[in-house]
Amino acid sequence: MLFPSLTTQPSCEGIPPLTSPLSTSTHIIDIDTLTFGNDFASLPPAHYTRLQPTPLPSPYLVAVSPHAAALIGIDAAALQSQAAIDLFTGNDIPDDAQPLSAVYSGHQFGVWAGQLGDGRAILLGDVPAAENPAASGDNNINVPHRMELQLKGAGLTPYSRMGDGRAVLRSSIREFLCSEAMAALGIPTTRALCITGSDQMVLRERPETAAVVTRMAPTFVRFGSFEHWFYNQKHDELKTLADYVLARFYPALQQAENPYKALLTEVTIRTARLMAHWQAVGFMHGVMNTDNMSILGLTLDYGPFGFMEAFDPHHICNHTDQQGRYSYARQPQIGEWNCFALGQALLPLIGTVEDVQAALRIYKPAFAEHFMDLMRAKLGLQTAHNDDAALFDHMFNIMQDSHVDFTRFFRKLGELKMTAPGEADSVRDLFLDRTAFDEWALQYAARLQAEASDDAARKLAMDAVNPKYVLRNYLAQTAIEKAEQKDFTEVARLLAVLEKPFDEQPENDHYADLPPDWANDLEVSCSS
C-alpha cells in the first residue's frame, strides 16, 4: 500500500460525533460596531507578550474573502473602508482589543528548536462568531462562539528572533488563497479574512513589498504551545494551558476519567483525519513542524504548500526540505510523529506512559478508516470490500508510472462507463501506459458492477468530491505577479473560482489547465 504502516483495518466505535466551526449569517454588522475581547489573554502573562502592531505606511486593500467575513457577520464591502484597512493592517487598534503575541516552542524538521513563538503574528483578540452557525465541511470541532483575529506580518515581536516581523505580498496571497480554497474543499483549516498591503519594502531573496493577512480561527494554540512548558519543566503552566483548551474547546472531555488523556485522544483523531483529507486531495503542507500543528486539528500556517500534479508519492513541495521529511507519502507518518510529540508534552498531566500510548494508539485506525472512506467516495464506491486497499494501491502505482495529474485523474474518472471502461478516452489518455490503465479499469468496473453502480448517479457523486479546480502553484504565481503591479483583480478572480471547486464553471475552464512549461521552474520554500 501507499501508506503501508497506516492502512490497517480500523475500529473507531465509541468516538463521539464531531461538528464544524464554519458558519454563515444573515446578520451583518459594521466595522465600527465590531467588539473585541481576548479570551487567550485570560491566561497568565507567561503565555504571551502584550504589544502593539507596528504600523505600515499608506496601507491599501488587496483582497477580501466574503465567506470568511460572513463567519463574523461582516459584509465584505465594509472591509473596503479606510477604517477597516487601518484596523487589519494594525495601524489603528480599537480600545477594546488587547493585542498580544503568544510564546511556544517546537520540533522543526524533527529537531528540537527550543523557544519560537509568534515572530510576525499579533493576535488582535476575538470577536463574536456569526449567529445561527451551520455545520459545513468536516472540521470536527465544536462550533465556536468567538473567532480569533490574528494579523500575520504586523511587525516585530519578542519572538521574531532574526526576522523582521513582516510578511510579504507574495506569501500573504498564497496563504489567503489556500486558506479559503481548503475551506471550500471541506478540509479543516484556519481562514483568511483579508490582505492589506503597503509599498514599504521588505528584503527576502529580493526586495518585496510588505503585506498583512488577517487570519481567523477559534484558537491558534498549537502542539508546540504545550511542548514549550514541558521542555521548560513548568508543569503548572502546562496544566493551565491544558485546562484552558479543555474548558474553551473540549468542554465535554472535562467529565472524562482522565481529561488530559481524553484531550490527547481527541486531538490525535482529528490530526489523523486531517492527514487523510490532505492525502485524498493531494495537498502537501511542506512544513509539518510541531509548532505548525493545530490543537483543533486545523490546517495551520500556509508556507511552501502545494497540490500534487504529476503523481509522485515522494514529491517534496518545499525546496528547503532537502531530506524529504515532509514529502507527500510521509505526511501521515509525520502526523503521527507529531502526535507522539504532543503526547510526550502531556505526559506529566496524563500520568503514565501506558495511558499516553493508549491515547495515541487510535491514530492508525482513525487515519485508515477516514482515508479509505474518502478514497471510496472519490471512486464512487458505495460499499466497503476487503480488496479495496489492493484496488487503490494498484491505482496509485499506475498513476505514478505514468506521472498522471492527480486532480485531473479523479475528476475525469467519473466519465468511465461501467460496461465499457476501455472507452473512457478522457481518463485513459492521461496515461502513458494505456494497457496498464485498461487492466486496472477492468478491475474497477468489476468492483462497480458488484454493487450495481449507476454510471450517471456515480458521476454526480464523484464530481461532488473530486475538485476540478485546486490552487496550483502557477495559478497563484500568476495572481502574485499581477498583484505586484498593483493589479489585484486576478486574486479576486482566482478566489471566486476556488470557492466553487466542484462546479464545472465552463467560463473558467482554463483554471483547470495543466501547468505551463514555465511552471517547472517554480520553487517554494520556507520564505514563501
pLDDT at 519 over 80: no
Helix then strand then coil, in percent of the chain rounded to 5, is 45, 15, 40
CB 124 within 8 Å of CB 150: yes
Render pLDDT for 175-204 as a digit per residue (tens, 0 to 9). Answer: 999 999 999 999 999 999 999 999 999 998
Render pLDDT for 56-101 as a digit per residue (tens, 0 to 9). Answer: 999 999 999 999 999 999 999 999 999 999 999 999 999 999 999 9
Q: How far is 408 from 402, CA to CA, in rounded Å?
A: 13
Distances (CA, A) of 147 to 51, 66, 127: 20, 16, 5
Residues in the chain: 528
pLDDT at 143 over 80: no
User: Does the active-site annotation cover 355?
Assistant: no
* Domain layout of the chain by residue ranges: 44-103+116-217, 235-371, 379-463, 474-511
Q: How far is 349 from 254, CA to CA, in rounded Å?
A: 13
The region of weakest confidence among 11-15, 378-382, 500-504 is 11-15
Cell of 338: 507529531
Render pLDDT for 424-464 as a digit per residue (tens, 0 to 9). Answer: 788 999 999 999 999 999 999 999 999 999 999 999 999 99
Distances (CA, A) of 14 to 17, 266, 360, 369: 9, 12, 16, 14
Cell of 440: 486496472
Q: What is the pTM of this model?
A: 0.93
Exactly one of 118, 126, 291, 405 is catalytic; which is it?
A: 291
